[in-house]
Structure 1
Amino acid sequence: MMPSKPSTPMKPDSQRGVALLTILLLVVSITVVAGAMLASQKIAIRRSGLLFDQNQLSQDINAGQQLAVTMIRADAKLNDTDSQQDIWAKPVPPYMFGTHGIGIELRDEASRFNINNLYHNGAVDTDALDIFQRLLTQLNLAPEIAVAVLDYQDADSEVYKDGGDESTVYAQQSTNSADNSLPNQALVNIDQLQNMKGVDAEVLAALRPYITTVPYYLPININTASPVLLAALLEGASSQQMQMVVEFREKQVFESIDGLWQLPIFASLNQEQKKSITPLLAVDSQAFTALITASDSADDGQERQRYATIIISKTAADATENSSGNNGGNNGNSANNTKNADNKKPKNVKVVSQRLWAFRPVF
């Protein structure tokens, strides 16, 4: 057996090459790992920054909400009416805090017809229904839409007056519903009208400027209502005729509903007609909508914006206490209500609801 050949030792140059290659591989590996860690860290920092910005925008929305409520409260202390001459009706310049801005727009919901007035306290309001039907006529829309809206809210399952099953007559257009039954509850937003018979996008667009969906009974403010809505108060009246009411209130705000009856256009109403319309009217507003715009001018030059719509109620303090009393509260408190030192009726102003938007809503 032949002896094994001894292994040839590695040359110094070869050893240096292997060592260099190993070092290069280690450097590449470390670079890749460091790059991945840096990228991950940047993502984490970016995510934290976005979360911080979103949290800051939410705080800005809340600040805007408080500013809107403060404006309504301040105006309520000045007078017992609401008109276009009041504080809330004036444009509000944006509030700037460094790179953040808060914009506020206020709208009087009582200048519109609240379609939730059609059915309240477990009964149909026939006077409100008549006004809504006349409003639809003013807008060249089918007055039958009013009955469809009423049936959407009332507690029974039959079509108002004409009879018949609602689920058959008013089959909803929405494909989200498992059946055609109506919800029999108050409306939350105007867009729900598209679920009703006779209402499409065109009809909704025509109605939108004149209606609202406040979640409680809301009289029409004659100091802010449009000529079209005022014309719906009377059979056969036109918006052109009601322009005189607008011109009158620009010079002198209505302090009471009786001031409306003094105008020639309403002189033909008898006492019975006035009595039926009066509960539907007011000279102040019990609901406002605030559109809050929160903006942030980020370091990258891109402005971020977030929107919220807020319903603010403004009701008489005694009415609020009576409402609490009906739910088991202390009824005796209402008897002790008095006007404040300025002889103004105390008002209870509070936020009823808030809705956040990714994009600016129709306002």
Structure 2
Amino acid sequence: MKTPHRQQAGVAVVTALLLTTLAITIVASLFWQQQVQVRSIENQRLQLQKKWVLRGALDWARLILREDGRGRKVDHLKEAWATNLAETRLDEYVENGRADSESSEASLSGQISDAQSRFNLNNLATDGVMNPKAIIAFQRLLGNLRLDTSLAAAAAEAIASSQTKKTTASSNPATTTGAASNPTVTTGTASNPSQTSSDSVPAVQFLRFTQIDDLLSVAGFNADMLTKLRDFVVVLPRTTTLNVNTASAEVLSACIATLSMSDAAAIVASRDRAEFLDLSDFKQRFPDKLANLADGEASVFTEFFIVSGKIRLGRSFLNFNSLIERNDAVTKIIWIREL
């Protein structure tokens, strides 16, 4: 039979083990919470550092475009802005608090592309009015890419419905006078207020197209089609002209009705040897194909550029696209999208 002293000793041992287990659990929990907080702070720091790298990259791109805009009004694929930036390591102070002896893991890569080398979807309609010539051009582009050409009209209608329509005052004063001099019509309208309120339903205003993905709202377009279109289509804030120094053969043959795909390929080969200095130079090199080309149908100068890149900061990545507008030597960021 155990004595009371031995029973008390056993209880003390069990109590000590329980207290030790509880203490270890509390300490482990504290260490885990501390690790989570440290990781959260580290992630916040990486996000902030990526934002600063992104800001620096866009400022760098704006500087390149601004300096290029000070020269002659010709943009082509042999200029400095068209040179891709391979993955480049950044200074260690940009990344994180590593020792000076450790290598940096921060890098930046990217490119600047001519937005006016692509078909601008906002050319399909202006102030809510569809542009038949642009619709035909978009049909040809869809045909060049082996896509359904009937979707061009549907896209134009959707874009027109998303734009604000201009309102003009009545140009026929006789109509206004006649309506006012007919008391029967006025009295009939006013005598049925319920009908007036039900007929005055406000028109639905759709959101404006701002990116290619907005085509998914048009019946018939799908994600696979948009993948094929991304390198050939863009949505710019206003109507623009095509830069023949940077456009692909598919877009050239679509936007210039007199060009076949083989003609457009010949134009691309010609500009690779020497860029087009102006629209007259462009027409003189291919007089049999471009004799009827109007001045406003093409250009050799660009106002909109797309900056795309990738920032790698340790284990964190950031892909981005940005649209920059250049007006002479002044550049402005239109939008930034993180992918």
Fold shared by both chains (TM-score > 0.5): yes
Q: Deviations over 1:175-231 (max 9, x none)?
A: xxxxxx986554222122233233334433333321111222221101001112211
Match of residue 5 from structure 1: none
Match of residue 136 from structure 1: 142
Match of residue 320 from structure 2: 308
Q: TM-score, normalised by structure 1?
A: 0.71
Maintained 8 Å contact 1:110/1:218:
yes
Number of corresponding residues: 287
1:237 CA displacement: 2.8
- Flag the structure with higher helix content: 2
Q: Does 1:99 align with 2:121?
A: no
Maintained 8 Å contact 2:89/2:105:
no
| Pairing of 1:27-42 with structure 2 (within 5 A) | 27-42=20-35
| Pairing of 1:187-226 with structure 2 (within 5 A) | 187-226=209-248
Structure 1 residues 128, 95: closer, same or farther in 2, change over 3 A?
farther
1:114 CA displacement: 0.4
Q: Deviations over 1:261-296 (max 9, x none)?
A: 2133545634xxx33xx3232211111111121112
Maintained 8 Å contact 2:259/2:289:
no
SS in 1 for 2:18: helix
SS in 1 for 2:324: strand
C-alpha root-mean-square deviation of aligned residues, in Å? 2.8
Q: Does 1:288 align with 2:310?
A: no
Match of residue 338 from structure 2: 356
Match of residue 184 from structure 2: none
Maintained 8 Å contact 2:74/2:301:
yes
Unmatched 5+ stretches in structure 2: 92-103, 164-202
1:31 CA displacement: 1.9
Q: Using the alignment, how far apart are the partners of 2:310 and 2:205 within structure 1?
A: 33
Unmatched 5+ stretches in structure 1: 1-9, 158-180, 298-302, 316-345, 358-363
Larger RCO, structure (CA 8 Å, separation 6 or more): 2
Q: Percent sequence identity over matched residues?
A: 22
Structure 1 residues 127, 348: closer, same or farther in 2, change over 3 A?
farther
Q: TM-score, normalised by structure 2?
A: 0.75
1:312 CA displacement: 0.8
Q: Using the alignment, how far apart are the partners of 2:306 and 2:83 within structure 1?
A: 14
Q: Using the alignment, how far apart are the partners of 2:276 and 2:235 within structure 1?
A: 25
1:244 to 261, 266, 289: 266
SS in 1 for 2:263: coil
Match of residue 131 from structure 2: 125
Q: Deviations over 1:105-131 (max 9, x none)?
A: 222111111011111245333332332
Between stretches 144-153 and 123-132, larger displacement belongs to 123-132
Structure 1 residues 23, 228: closer, same or farther in 2, change over 3 A?
closer
